[in-house]
């Protein structure tokens, strides 16, 4: 049993910044990869960024150069710093984690989502 809880969403004007946080809790051995996805109304959920346990990162073109993903393994947390926000960044942002529960078992988990709204 693993739970992911996001925080940090809200309302911001275009050009502003937000920092999203996601904390994992429960019983597990390690978290292999943590990432952020987003979904706007009427659209498919899409990758924003993810980061491996070793710190390797991947960014979607939409956020590259504006967003920075990081993690704190001691806190089982992942963060997304979003700068220079645009109206098209408006979406529900979801935390995702690939979790090594124990030997020979790896499961994928989602958070409940946090709303980000960027106004003009």
Q: How far apart are CA 40 and CA 46, in angstroms?
A: 9
What pLDDT score does 59 carry?
98
Per-residue pLDDT at 1: 79
Inter-CA distances, 88 with 40, 91, 117, 119, 120, Å: 9, 8, 9, 10, 10
| Tens digit of each residue's pLDDT (9 = 90 or more) over 64-89 | 999 999 999 999 999 999 999 999 99
At residue 46 the predicted structure's pLDDT band, cuts being 50, 70 and 90, is very high
Kindly report the number of other CB atoms within 10 A of residue 73's CB atom: 13
Phi, psi of 41 (to 5 degrees): -55, 130
């Amino acid at each position: 049993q693993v739970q992911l809880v996001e925080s940090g969403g809200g309302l911001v004007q275009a050009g502003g910044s937000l920092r999203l946080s996601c904390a994992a809790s429960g019983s597990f051995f390690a978290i292999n990869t943590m990432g952020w996805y987003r979904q706007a109304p009427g659209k498919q959920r899409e990758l924003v960024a993810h980061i491996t346990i070793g710190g390797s990162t991947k960014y979607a073109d939409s956020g590259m150069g504006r967003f920075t993903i990081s993690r704190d393994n001691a806190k089982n947390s992942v963060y997304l710093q979003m700068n220079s926000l645009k109206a098209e960044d408006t979406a529900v942002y979801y935390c995702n984690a690939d979790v090594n529960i124990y030997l020979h078992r790896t499961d994928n988990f989602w958070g409940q989502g946090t709303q980000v709204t960027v106004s003009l």
